[in-house]
């Protein structure tokens, strides 16, 4: 699996991942140190921090 993006997401913030080709939500594997939501938009994916009181670490990988 190839790592697409990784980093910290502060409280109430989002991480944007540009779409590559014809990717869908099912093509992504996400490792996170807390709660998050994943939303698919026409040109990108949005990972939003769902924790109320702390930042989370997120690693987004593409399934092969």
In this predicted model, what pLDDT tens digit does every residue of 3-57 receive, in sequence order?
999 999 999 999 999 998 899 999 999 999 999 999 999 999 999 999 999 999 9
Tokens of 40: 């698919």
pTM of the model: 0.88
Q: Name the nearest CA neighbour of 48 among 12, 8, 19, 18.
A: 12
Q: What's the pLDDT score for residue 33?
A: 97
Residue 59 has pLDDT above 90, yes or no: yes
């Amino acid at each position: 699996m190839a790592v697409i993006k990784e980093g910290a997401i502060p409280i109430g913030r989002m991480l944007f991942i540009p779409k590559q080709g014809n990717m869908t939500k099912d093509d992504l594997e996400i490792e996170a140190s807390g709660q998050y939501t994943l939303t698919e938009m026409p040109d990108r994916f949005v990972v939003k921090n769902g924790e109320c009181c702390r930042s989370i670490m997120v690693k987004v990988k593409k399934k092969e």
